[in-house]
Every structure is written in C-alpha cells, then in structure tokens.
Structure 1
Amino acid sequence: MKIKYLMNQNVTCIDKDQNICDALRIMKKNNISRLVVINTNNEHIKEVVGIITEKDIAEKLGSSRYGNLAPSHFHVSTVMSSNLITADVNMDVSTAADIMLENHIGSLPVIEDDKLVGILTKTDILEICKGKPYEKPLVEDVMSSELITIEPTERMIHARRLMIDANIGRLPVMEDGELVGIITSKDIARSMIAFRKIVPDKYKSARIRNLLVEDLMTQNVKTVKTTDTISKTASKMIETGYGGFPVLDDNGTVVGIITKSDILDLIVEMEGG
C-alpha cells in the first residue's frame, strides 16, 4: 500500500518564530503530538524547515540548564528538529514504517513535486492493523518485556533522563510491585509549561529539581492483556491517542509494554515481503 492512502492531507503547521506555548496550545486543540515547522521567505513562500514534538518540548523544558527561562522565551526554532526526513507520496507503507523505526521518529512529512502534501504518523500506519491478518498475532508476540519503570517518589528530572537515554516516550510508575501510574513526555511538557508560568523566576530551577513523578503522572492507567490481539490493541491506540500500554498477564501482573513502534515492527515484517 502507498502512503498517500493513509497520510493526513490536513497538515497542522507553526511558524519557527512562534513560541512553544503556542505549539502546545495548537497540539492540544488539534489532539496531535507534533507540528510541521515553516518559515516564510522573502518571496512569501512557506518553506518546511523542521518538526516539533511534545517530546522535544519535554526534553528542553525539563532541563535544569534552562530552569530560569519562561516558556515564552523558547521559540519553536530553538526546540524543533531541523534534520527533517520526508517521504515521497508514492512510498510504500512498509518502507515508511522502516524509516520511522530506524530514525526513532514518529512521523514523516509527505512531499510531492517538492510541495508538502500531507503527513504520515505512526497512528496513521496503525490503520492497517484493522485488517484480518492482524487478528491473529497477540500482544505477547510483539511486546517488549524489558521494562523500564520508575517509582512515584523519584524526581521528574530522573524520569526525563531515563526517557532521553532509552529514547522512549513513557514510563510505567511502580510502587511495591504494583502499577500506580504512568508518566509520559506529554505529561512533562504540559506540566512544565504550567509550572513555569506560575513559579517566580528565582525559584524555577530549584523547584524543577524537586518535582516528583507522582506530581505529574497519570493514575488509573489503561492497560492491555498479553492475549489481546494486535488488531484490538492498535484500535485502542487509535481511539485513545496513547502511544503505548503496560501489558498485564492473567494474574494482573505487569509483564511488559507495547508501543506503536512495536506494532510498526510487525507491520514491516508482514507487509514488507
């Protein structure tokens, strides 16, 4: 299948000179996690210059190095990724998925005749999983059992560092062997914006260092079972907008995590041949 049949033609963009508060506001309004960044040149032509994600914002705002700066001081251009990888409109879906996995990215701006005509995300690709072949593989066949977790009393900056080092977007929060929450890059990004707006400048850096995971995490975590089908799990990701779920066995014990990337691996395997 060609990506032109799955891509979203309505691309939400932001100017590189806007600030990250604007970026998060637009993401929240449109229920998306990334924006294509544009620059209007002297001929009033809009050029695609990068992409900005909630993960990018979380990494920058959670850094103690920038602890005293207000969010309004962060322009999109200072946070965005400028090493833009694009896809041709006639690229195969399995090739696009492989590119995303190899480069650890969640989307590809789609180009036709040197013009931006759409954007393809991991969520768009998951639509393939609604087909009959994906009713056979189970979560336990695809999930990652190498689980990176964090405790609720650990610091937010430690959670942020774990995500950056492992290049992941979420951490299950465990206490005494029980799942009590989940913290994502989206939680960190949105909380940092709110936090920086209300805390006086001279206290920002110290307060950020003392923020705990339990202050930001989401409770009542949505999970999946090892025996759920990939078709069902992919549909659940599309419906909720979540990028991953902790996986429980029949005893209710957390035994792994499944993400969009895990499912994309399966799609590459099944569609690539």
Structure 2
Amino acid sequence: MQTPHVSRQPSVGLGLRRGLLKDLQAAPAGDFDFLEVAPENWIGVGGAHGAALRELAERYPLSCHGLSLSLGGPAPLDSGFLQEVRVFLDHHRVEHYSEHLSYCSDDGHLYDLLPLPFTEEAVHYVAARIRQSQDILGRRLAVENVSYYAAPRQDMDEVTFTNAVLREADCDLLLDVNNVYVNAINHGFDPRDFLARIEPGRVVGMHVAGHFDESDSLKIDTHGASVKPQVWSLLAEAYARFGAQPTLLERDFNFPAFAELVAELQTIRRLQGEGVQRG
C-alpha cells in the first residue's frame, strides 16, 4: 500500500512515541493528519513495535525529525548513518526530514542539543555540513531553531545567524515556535521581531510544545506539558506571517489523557483556519 506525502496544506501531527502507540492506533480518522518519527529510534526495529510502525505508516504520512546527526559538531558527519536514514525515508516515502541547528556529539554522544556560536565561521561550517547531508540524503533538509540556555559566543543575534545558515546551505526551516518564545524570555529579545525577520520562503513546517516556568525570566523547554497561552498567541503570529504550515504538537513524556492532546490539536486547527482567512 502506498503512503501519501505529508501535505503542505494546513495539517496537524503528533510524534510517534512508544508511550502513545495504543492511542495512536486506536485514534479515529481526523484526530491528526500525520506522524513525526525520529528515524534513529525506528531504523531496524522489529517485533510488535516494528509492526505498529508499519501499520501506522500505511494509515498516515510520516515526517521525520532527527536527533543525532549533530550538524554543528566537531566530529565528521556520519555518512553511514545518513545512508541508513535515506533508505528509511525512501522506504516510507517520507518527503520531509529535519534536524536541529545544534550539535550533540563529539567522540561520543553528549545526550543534549547544545548551542552553536553565532559567528561567521560557524555559519560556513554548519552550512557546508548541511549541504553534504542533503547530497547524501538526496533531498532538502530542514533545520530547526533550538532552545539554549548559555551562548558560547554571539557575534550576531540568533535570527541573523539562522538566516545566514539557511541562505548559505540553501535549506529550509522547521520553525519551533515554543523555542522562539523560550529563548526570547531567557535571552531578552522580542519573539515577534524574531518571526518578522525570518525569511518566510524558508519555513516548511512548525513545532509547538509546552515548557516549564522556572521563573518569570527562565523558561525550560520540556515537551512535557500543555502549550502555554503566550505560545498559542505566537503560533497565531507565525501563521499570519508564514501561512498555516503543517504543525506538530510535541509531547515526549508526562502524557495526559489522549483527549487532551486532541483538544490541543483542535486549537492548532482553529488557529490555522484563522490564519488562512487572514491570508
């Protein structure tokens, strides 16, 4: 059975997490439109989980979001892993693959998404690695803006750095709206100004998630809570600027009743509809 491509029309998705498998399999048509998969968590998986992946992939288009490519890392890119990812994407007819604009490994895995310095040297370095990755994958790559809590060096601001990487690598942007909000609070910039300065033709999808309020001036990106009102408002701003791009509701742990996730997906649909009407 052939699997449809992820539509660029307004659509909503959830991450394919093992803790949600039964709910995702039992969900009626219309609760969500696509599923996002971290390929490194599913390549070569067999047994009951592998069967569940195959069954869900026949019912829903898949989008892939990587966790371990380490685009900005010092170690050479893992070309063998990229070849495995390409086979996985081709097998499941996955059109869109994204990774983080960060690094997560050196000689070994660091188990965190660490920030890049916002420097011209880093722009050239990571853009070259993105181009190399796209050549191996045989498709365009989207990079995601990440949350960060310490800045190693900033010769330019985050949005200037991001735009420079997108242009030099000629790649796309997966816009994480919650990360924009978290970084804006933690580092003292205007999140709406950040959105206004992103090149609109690069945005091909969005993420939205909950975060933890450590204090008024410190927010922690957790993916373990409901989306905050301020982030919903920023998502509406993003739709107004970039159109109602396919949007994933990220929830990685502390799962609520599935109906609560569906209610958040319905909020996304409502905001997308309003964005289409404004457009």
**Based on CA coordinates, which of the two structures has the bigger radius of gyration?**
1
Same fold by TM (over 0.5)?
A: no
**Alignment TM class, shorter chain as reference:** under 0.3
Q: Per chain length, whose mean CA-contact separation is higher, i.e. which structure has more relative contact order (CA < 8 Å, sep 6+)?
A: 1
* TM norm structure 1: 0.23
* TM norm structure 2: 0.23
